[in-house]
Structure 1
Amino acid sequence: MIQRKFNIVLGVLAMLLFGSTALAQENAMQAMGKANAKVAKAASHKNHWDGPTDGPKLQNKKRVVFIAGDMVNTVVAELYKGTKEAAAMAGWEVLLIDCRAACYQGAPVINQALAMKPDGIILAGVDAQSQAKGLDKAQEKKIPVVGWHAIAKPGPVDGLFANVGNNPRESAQIAALYGVTEVNSKMGMVIFTDNSTPYLSAKSSALIEIIKQCDICRLLSVEEMPVSDASAKMQQTVDDLVKHYGSKWTHVIAVSDVYFDVMEKPAIAALIAGNKLKGLSAGDGSVTSYQRIHANNVQIGTVPEPANMQGWQLVDELNRAFSGVAASGYSMPVHLATNQNIPFDGGDKNVFEPDNDYRNQYRKYWVAK
């Protein structure tokens, strides 16, 4: 059984890394080495700066509107904090619009921001496609917009000067690869997905794709549940899953830490108390996710975003737009937080705060010219 498990895991890892059945069979051992290296790199100490080392001097006294998908989300709140911290260096004014998980469809929220007469706009956790008309208006007025998780990949795109954040497929792959290495013959997986935005949909499809390729990973169910509906729908969903699968349900993987936040509610926690679930999240490193990993309470890993640092990057990208230069193109490599590496990179404070001296790295060219 142990050898069979080893061979199956080798096979699925080879499929993930080489993308073909023939190569999977031929390169199984090589694939295991690559998979282990990929996971180890993601979990490594982030104490080296690999971001931009040159850019324009920070312009003074700009007004920026920060449109937050939901400030209850601790990662979005940390992003806002980092943005204000960086913006204060040049006397920028940062104004907040909190959508509270219910941004208007179409133009209105961008129109609200434009009415504040900003020099630039940040879309933080707000789907850019839902704001297409407003983005067109901002473009007409030559007001740059940068996003965070606003589209399905980092970098510049029509309507956005730049989009900051992890590549969602890479986040999902790291979470799933780590999950595959945790499998055993009794593993039964439930995946919680969200296809309400292109960003979350990319994570969802990658999780399903990878877990389905693992023969020993018994995929019990894929539960499509938008993050915004998790609080209202989770108890009934968990009750149904436990009744249907009982102790066969042992693992859960989700596109966001929010699902685990909801599963901690006493009424839901009581339903799964006998399952001794192991949980993994493909993002985004909330305070509560770190607390669960510390306590070994359901969640064994998350793929966090360095939100405070990304706030500094949002300011850097806007400053590049104000200065007429190209976006930096920077996206920090995906990180995996587990109970093995959680003492580093801010984990002792329940946040992903890379030990890479990012503040001074940005200051070097913001103030030196």
Structure 2
Amino acid sequence: MTVRLTLAVTALAVLSACGDGAGGASTDIDQESVAAAAQRVASARDALPADLPDAPIKAPTGSFVAVVACNAAQPGCADPARGAVEALEAAGLRAKLIDGQGTSDKQNAAIRQALALRPDGIITSAIDPETVQQALGEARRQGVAVVSLAALGESELVDANVGPTVADYTATGTLLADLAITELKGAVKALVLHDEGFAVLEPRYRGFVEGLDACSSCEVLEEQTFTSADLAVGVPRLVQQLVQRHPDVNTFYVDYDDAVPPLLQGLRSVGRDDVLVLGSNGTVDATQCIASDCGQAATTAFSLDGIGWAAADSMLRVLAGIPASDAVYGLGVKLIDAEVARAVVDSSENGMWDGDADYRAAYLALWGAA
């Protein structure tokens, strides 16, 4: 199903809701929620301004920074790490990407591998510092600077946390709820898949569920949890079971885009191509899928590379001896439906949304590397 969102269509949907609601009567549809959701959806598709640092910093050229990704096989984890490497090298530093391979044991080992290279700093990407306490403790004892990228919560094990705020992550979920409410005219019947393995996903998941809860004519039929280890086999099987239990489902939410292909596999195995499928992160594969009507209806996106550039900026400041406060990702949350996805694919170099402002030029100017 292709999602096409315009205020005109939404207004028509509200007026015609009397025959389409979950109960068949206009009084059953929460028309106020539909109208409010439509307004938020329209705003989320507008061009987003950038809110970047304004204090210049001289990049300490010649320094070496290792960047440890939680799992190089998952774009939502690896793309910010690659963005950090790109930014560090653009600033005149040496950088190396190391794969954390998806588990805390291997991520601890990856950080130790980085330490063996005698770096000046380490950036971890989407790794909860508390799950790699031992390795980060070693970094602390060796005097190696550590910046945590895209991991919520404060930790004494790192010099700075960099990335979207809790409010940003919550918005990636609430906007998907808004889209479902708008597209389905306030008659959402949703199934929800939540990965409990990443703390940053909790506010996104809560944002979606609570966004639907605010719509009195919408319903979450069932919620289930999974982990990234379940993607190949467990998720398709779980999707089959959920749809068989809830044949009236019209919406499927999952925390991140990397889980959408196995979700679609499960839907196709039971002959369901009529479900609104929603993910988040705005990966290349997801954006191209949405643009080509392959089954995913929409995603919400951060600039994944932009998160990496924000982490690089924070690392430069730490290495320069400037007390580091937690840096805030400043490029906003983009709602990407088919229309936006096609525009992104046609206009971007790498096929994914990368912010609506030229943050690279802005950072390079701050670093004296433009």
**Structure 1 and Structure 2 fold alike (TM over 0.5):** yes
2:130 aligned with 1:129, yes or no?
A: yes
**Map of 1:210-289 to 2, 5 A cutoff?**
210-246=211-247, 248-265=248-265, 268-281=266-279, 283-289=280-286
Q: Is the 8 A contact 1:183 1:217 kept in 2?
A: no
**How far apart, in 2, do the equivalents of 1:56 and 1:320 lie?**
7
Q: Is the 8 A contact 1:67 1:99 kept in 2?
A: yes
Q: Is the 8 A contact 2:70 2:102 kept in 1?
A: yes
Q: TM-score, normalised by structure 2?
A: 0.82
**Map of 1:1-369 to 2, 5 A cutoff?**
2=18, 3-4=26-27, 8-10=30-32, 32-33=35-36, 35-46=37-48, 48-104=49-105, 107-151=108-152, 157-160=155-158, 161-165=160-164, 167-184=168-185, 187-246=188-247, 248-265=248-265, 268-281=266-279, 283-325=280-322, 326-327=324-325, 329-332=327-330, 333-344=332-343, 348-349=347-348, 350-367=351-368
Q: Is the 8 A contact 1:119 1:144 kept in 2?
A: yes
Query: Residues 158 and 175 from structure 1, CA distance in 2 versus in 1: closer, same or farther, beyond 3 angstroms?
Result: farther
**Offset, 1:275:** 4.5
**Offset, 1:106:** 8.4
**Offset, 1:36:** 4.3
Query: Residues 55 and 347 from structure 1, CA distance in 2 versus in 1: closer, same or farther, beyond 3 angstroms?
Result: farther
Aligned counterpart, 1:26: none
Q: Is the 8 A contact 1:193 1:223 kept in 2?
A: yes
**Which runs of no fewer than 5 residues in structure 2 stay unpaired?**
1-16, 19-25
Moved more, 314-323 or 88-97: 88-97
Q: Deviations over 1:210-267 (max 9, x none)?
A: 3233322232211111233222202221221232222x121111111122121344xx
Q: Deviations over 1:314-349 (max 9, x none)?
A: 211100111222346332222211123234456644
**How far apart, in 2, do the equivalents of 1:120 and 1:110 lie?**
11
**Offset, 1:109:** 3.7
Q: Is the 8 A contact 1:123 1:147 kept in 2?
A: yes
Q: Is the 8 A contact 1:105 1:130 kept in 2?
A: no
**How far apart, in 2, do the equivalents of 1:365 and 1:185 lie?**
46
SS of the residue corresponding to residue 340 of structure 1 reads helix
**How far apart, in 2, do the equivalents of 1:224 and 1:175 lie?**
18
Moved more, 100-109 or 70-79: 100-109
Moved more, 305-314 or 327-336: 327-336
What is the number of equivalent residue pairs in this alignment?
A: 340
**How far apart, in 1, do the equivalents of 2:261 and 2:90 lie?**
35
SS of the residue corresponding to residue 296 of structure 1 reads coil
CA RMSD for the aligned pairs? Answer: 2.7
Q: Is the 8 A contact 1:242 1:271 kept in 2?
A: no
Aligned partner letter, 2:282 = G
**Offset, 1:76:** 3.5
SS of the residue corresponding to residue 193 of structure 1 reads strand
**How far apart, in 1, do the equivalents of 2:122 and 2:287 lie?**
30
Aligned partner letter, 1:257 = D
Query: Residues 177 and 285 from structure 1, CA distance in 2 versus in 1: closer, same or farther, beyond 3 angstroms?
Result: same
Moved more, 103-112 or 87-96: 103-112
Query: Residues 261 and 198 from structure 1, CA distance in 2 versus in 1: closer, same or farther, beyond 3 angstroms?
Result: same
Q: Is the 8 A contact 2:100 2:106 kept in 1?
A: no
**How far apart, in 2, do the equivalents of 1:94 and 1:255 lie?**
30
Aligned partner letter, 2:333 = V
Aligned counterpart, 1:19: none
Q: Is the 8 A contact 1:124 1:148 kept in 2?
A: yes
**How far apart, in 2, do the equivalents of 1:346 and 1:310 lie?**
20
Q: Deviations over 1:294-319 (max 9, x none)?
A: 12232221111212222222211100
Query: Residues 106 and 88 from structure 1, CA distance in 2 versus in 1: closer, same or farther, beyond 3 angstroms?
Result: closer
SS of the residue corresponding to residue 162 of structure 2 reads strand
Q: Is the 8 A contact 2:83 2:307 kept in 1?
A: yes
**How far apart, in 1, do the equivalents of 2:144 and 2:369 lie?**
26
SS of the residue corresponding to residue 208 of structure 2 reads helix
SS of the residue corresponding to residue 32 of structure 2 reads helix
**How far apart, in 2, do the equivalents of 1:347 and 1:176 lie?**
27
Q: Alignment identity in percent?
A: 21
SS of the residue corresponding to residue 221 of structure 1 reads strand
**How far apart, in 2, do the equivalents of 1:69 and 1:232 lie?**
21
Q: Deviations over 1:102-122 (max 9, x none)?
A: 231785443332222111111
